[in-house]
Structure formats: C-alpha cells, structure tokens
Amino acid sequence: MLTAPGIRALRPAEKPYKRFDEKGLYLLVTPTGSRLWRFKYRYRGRENHLALGAYPEVTLREARDKRDAARELLRNEVDPAAARRAQRNAGINDLKAIAIEWLDKRDNLAPITRGNTLGQLEANVFPYLGNLPIAEIDAAEILRALRRIEARGHHETAHRVRQRLSQIFRYAVATGRASRDPTADLRGALRPIVTRSRSAITDPQRVGQLLRSIEAYPGYPATRLALELLALTFVRPGELRLATWPEVDLQEGVWRIPGERMKMKREHLVPLSRAAVAAFRELLPLTGHRSLIFESLRPGRPMSENTVNMALRGMGYAGDEMTAHGFRAMASTLLHEQGWPPEVIELQLAHAQRNQVAAAYNRSARLEERKRMMDQWADYLAALRGGTINVIAYAKEK
C-alpha cells in the first residue's frame, strides 16, 4: 500500500511508471513529474481506467474515497466512467453530448458497432451540428450535413447517418430535451441506394476452381483453413475469425456460436461435417493452446477482418468477384438449386425469422435435417473440387 511519505519520495523516470495502492487504485508517475491517480477496474468483461485527479491536489485519503465510490457504482452494475460522463452532460443539451450519452446507454451494441457508429458521427455530424442545442436543430440543417456525405459518393453512409440521427433525436425526445425528430421530414430527400448483390461465385464449375485455388493456397495455413471453413460452414466472417476453441465440440461435431457474437443475438448451432471437423483438427497444432482459433500473429488478437479478402485477391479473385461474405451467397444459391427446403437453408444461415415461436421450434426440430444438409454440402464441394461431379445431373437428382 502507498503512504504519503512514499508518494512524496517518488521521482520521475524516462518512461511513465505505476505504483499500486490496493483495490485497483494506483499512481501514475510521468516523466514530467506529474503524479496522477487512476482506478483500474473491469466492467462487463472489459478493462477500464478512471482518472481520479493529481497528487497532491487529491490526497491519498481522497483518492481512496473516490475509488471506494467508484467500486460502489460497480457493485450496482454501473460503469463509473459512464456515470461521470452522464454527470458532466447533465443539463447539457447539445447534439454531441446527447449522442454520446445515447451510445453509452446502448449496452447491446457490439464494441465494433459502437466504434463504427461513433466514427461516423465524429466524421459526418459533430463538426457541423455537434455543438448546436438539439432542440433547435431543424431538418434543413441535418440535410446540409447529409449532402456533404452524398457529395463524396457515400450514399449508403448518408442513409445510415440519418437513421442514427433519428435514434438520437428520439432518445432526446424521450429524455425531455427535444420535442420531435426532424429527420422524419427527410423521407425521400436523400438519393436512393443502388442495391448490389454481395460479390460471390455461384457457378458450380467456377466454385470447383475456387476450391482448388484454396487447396493450393501457399500462405499461412490458418488462412487457408479459414477459407475452407467459410466454404464448409458459410458462417459470417466475423463469427469465424472470433471463434474460440471452447465453442467447438469436435467429438459431437457441432460449433455453438454464442448469442453475443450473432447478428440476431441468439446462440447459433453449426453442424460440422467430417471435412469441417478435419479442418478444425488441422488447426489444433497451430492455435489449440490458445483460446482464439484464428489468432493473428499478435498474440491475443483475432485474425484481421481483411485477411481472408486479401488471400482471395492474392489468388486472383477481384473484390467484385468473390469476398469472404460471398461464401454465404454461394451456399445459399447452390443449396436452393439443389432443392433443399428454404427454411432449412435460412436457419443454417442464421437469418431472422418473423415468427419467433417457429424460430425457437425450428432451431431444435430441424437440426437433424441441417446436419444431413451440411454433410451433403461438404460432399458436394469435395466433388466440385475434384471435378468428379455432373452438376446438372446432381441438381436433377436433388
């Protein structure tokens, strides 16, 4: 534990260093001689550090009192950093403050989604509207900000930003800081989005060539196996690259993806064919001693979002020809052509179902059917890769 004489005796060094007290409280000593109180804590699995002031303005006793107050918030399941931001924003009605408050309260957002949303607002909204009182912002001012996005050719981003602003204004209305959502007046004002299908190879002969290219991929083995597993399981790329070994039961032949990683926030079961199990077993010597299955070269971090797409580019497939996400469209198209029930394909793609009762029923009741489909899908891919299948005859058979 720290003492007042011990703190006074601390001297600066070439690099910042820490001296810990207890229960997460520590003193950060900077090269300039500043002695800064910090509280280290974890909230919902994520580590954070809360600034508690500088010594000697904040004494050791006062720093401990502040730490204890923060610990009390944590006991009540409140993030001390979020509580401080809310306190600072109390009575502040500008759009930026309310937008950040709204984001802090959205606990269901994945970290990457929260980061992307904040980035969009910081780039496209805060410089023009951030300091304005939210109740005084009208549709014309919002449209001018959105037109700047459109001028760069980012029409889809403009629509997304409008949707985010609508959510922020509705939050402001609910908390008594705005009277209405002016983005409702902008319906039809933005340029329409030209919908484009995900880049994917769906011709069976070309799929066979793609699989042969993957088999011959000369790069890092884990990248090749990621490509193989995307083809065999057609999960979303993010679900694959963040996969952990405890999720995969190679004896049972099933991969249980937890709800927090799924788009629909529900656990997803992926039956594993023999080929998929073999691919996971090939990964065991590479990362079996780690938690992450697809760990990057930097320990503790997952494979980059761009790794699979870059591998496809290296094999000669352009971005408008095939992407990591394209394996889902590839499987969906070919399985439909083979006559598999659409609802079974949709279940395996983990698409949302409008009837939630039916969704709960189908999740378990059709698992055996999904297992058969995944086994036959793996056999079909193997035949395409080997060039030993008459695709027209196969489709008629199915």
Enumerate residues 6+ apart whose C-beta is below 8 A from 70.
39, 41, 50, 80
Query: Is 351 part of the annotated catalytic residue set?
Result: yes
Q: Can you point out the beta strands (E) in 185-285?
A: 248-249, 254-257, 268-271
For residue 329 the two structure tokens come to 């469209």
Whether 154 is catalytic: no
Maximum Cα interatomic distance, the chain, rounded to a whole number of Å: 86
- Report yes or no: 371 and 276 within 8 Å, Cβ to Cβ: no
- Set 66, 96, 328, 385: catalytic member: 328
Contact 91, 61 (CB under 8 A): no
Given a contact cutoff of 8 angstroms between Cβ atoms, the answer to whether 293 and 280 are in contact is yes
H or E element at residue 224 = helix 221-233
Candidates 8, 144, 147, 361; catalytic one: 361
Which residues neighbour 90 within 8 Å (Cβ) at sequence distance 6 or greater? none
Known catalytic residue at 38: no
Known catalytic membership, residue 46: no
Q: Which of 177, 236, 261, 370 is flagged as catalytic?
A: 236
What is the token pair recorded at 123? 């780039």
State the Cα–Cα distance between residues 387 and 374, nearest whole angstrom.
Answer: 20
Active site residue 263: yes
Question: What tokens does 243 get?
Answer: 């996969």
Active site annotation includes 236: yes
Of 127, 158, 132, 121, nearest to 143 by C-alpha is 158
Q: How far apart are CA 73 and CA 75, in angstroms?
A: 5
Integer-rounded Cα Rg, in Å, for the chain is: 27
Catalytic residue, from 35, 268, 325, 385: name it.
Answer: 325
- Whole-angstrom distance, CA of residue 355 vs CA of residue 169: 30
Where is 55: in which H helix or E strand?
strand 46-55
Active site residues: 236, 263, 325, 328, 351, 361
